[in-house]
Amino acid sequence: MTETSPLDKATTQRLVVLAADLAREAGDMVRRGRPRDVVVAATKSSPIDVVTAMDLASEALIRARIAAVRPDDGILGEEQGLLPGSSGITWVIDPIDGTVNYLYGIPAYAVSVAAVTGPPRPDAWTVVAGCVHSVADGRVWTAGLGKGARCDGSPVQVNDPVPLAQSLLGTGFGYTADRRRGQARVVAALLPQVRDIRRIGSAALDLCTLASGGLDLYYERGLQPWDLAAASLVAQEAGALVLGLRGVPADEAMTVAGPELTVRALVALLEDLDADRDEPADPTV
């Protein structure tokens, strides 16, 4: 938490408050509006990578609220893409992170809202404020750059490092067969070397659970900017190191998070396993 915000403290705090207000309002709509039977509105990377009507409605609500109070800001959302702005601030939105859980009524899905400065690209922006709202149980994680992380107003902190053999890991899986084959290979190699592995089904909740001490480490291949923006700031402000493999930042290829000592050990193991590689059905492909 040594990095300081490129914005003044008052502006950063206002963005944190707004992110939380937006996430809560969208979360209320998602929670109240869930029908008994959720209908799939579309698919993305594969037939099992689903979008529901509520994903679309949640993002539309957040976009409308931002346009009303900060019309010069840009917006990048999972469902509707990038709307450029002129203020130097862009909002990064995941309207429902954990859509498959939402689809099946499993109470582990979240609304994620972050504010970033700089060009609207993960390799160039700085996340300055963020909120992850766990819709089903109402928990709210917030963070501002250099201001720490909180859950429901109380400070949170990652666990102290413990050996990998005593570490509880969180992870997730992609939606294409090649990616899942690769991820299954990695899980099979990791499982005998760690305490256990959990799959919550929401990357944002994984990272926030890590921030609150409910996981010791987290890794996942395939995360998108809206999966990472708010939750990665929460984790970092709670004391986690968040990075990728082979000396690059956390990105779609791989995200690893936790206390620095054990993150370094897990990164080395994941690199040895080529965990940032998919597994075609034909190994000669």
pLDDT in tens, 162-180: 999 999 999 999 989 999 9
Say if CB 211 and CB 238 are below 8 A apart: yes
- What's the structural domain count of the chain? 2
The residue among 129, 155, 181 that closes a domain is: 155
**Residue 6: pLDDT band with limits 50, 70, 90:** confident
Residues 140 and 177 in one domain: no
Give the tens place of pLDDT for each residue, 32-91: 877 655 555 555 555 544 467 888 999 999 999 999 999 999 999 999 999 999 999 999
Residue 158 pLDDT: 98
DSSP 206-238: HHHHHHTTS-SEEEES---HHHHHHHHHHHHHT
> Residue written as tokens 């990095």?
3
Domain co-membership, 178 together with 249: yes
- Work out the percent of the chain whose per-residue pLDDT is above 70: 91
139 & 223 share domain: no
Tokens of 209: 């659970």
Q: 17 and 151 share a domain?
A: yes
Which position has the higher pLDDT, 281 or 201? Answer: 201
With beta carbons less than 8 A apart as the criterion, state whether 26 and 79 touch. no
Q: Residues 131-157: pLDDT tens digits?
A: 999 999 999 999 999 999 999 999 999
For the chain, the average pLDDT equals: 92
- Per-residue pLDDT at 42: 54
> Is the per-residue pLDDT at 284 higher than 80?
no
pLDDT of residue 3: 57
Per-residue pLDDT of 248-283, as tens digits, reads 999 999 999 999 999 999 999 999 999 999 999 875
> What whole-number distance in Å separates Cα of residue 142 and Cα of residue 208?
9
Which pLDDT score is estimated for 282? 73
Question: Which secondary structure element, helix H or strand E, spans residue 272, and what is its range?
Answer: helix 260-272
Q: Identify the CATH number of the domain in which residue 227 sits.
A: 3.40.190.80
User: 24 and 130 in one domain?
Assistant: yes
Strands (E), 15-88: 40-43, 50-52, 74-77, 81-83
Does residue 30 belong to any structural domain of this protein?
yes
Q: Which CATH number do you get for residue 38?
A: 3.30.540.10
**Residue 34 domain flag:** yes
pLDDT at 72: 98
Residue 9 clears pLDDT 50, i.e. is over it: yes
Are 39 and 58 found together in one domain? yes
Q: Are residues 131 and 242 in the same domain?
A: no
Write down the pLDDT at residue 38: 58
Q: Strand, coil or helix: what is 85?
A: coil
pTM: 0.92
Sign of dihedral through CA atoms 234, 239, 243, 245? negative
Residue 246, pLDDT above cutoff 80: yes
Same domain, 168 and 135: no
Residue 50: its pLDDT value, please?
A: 45
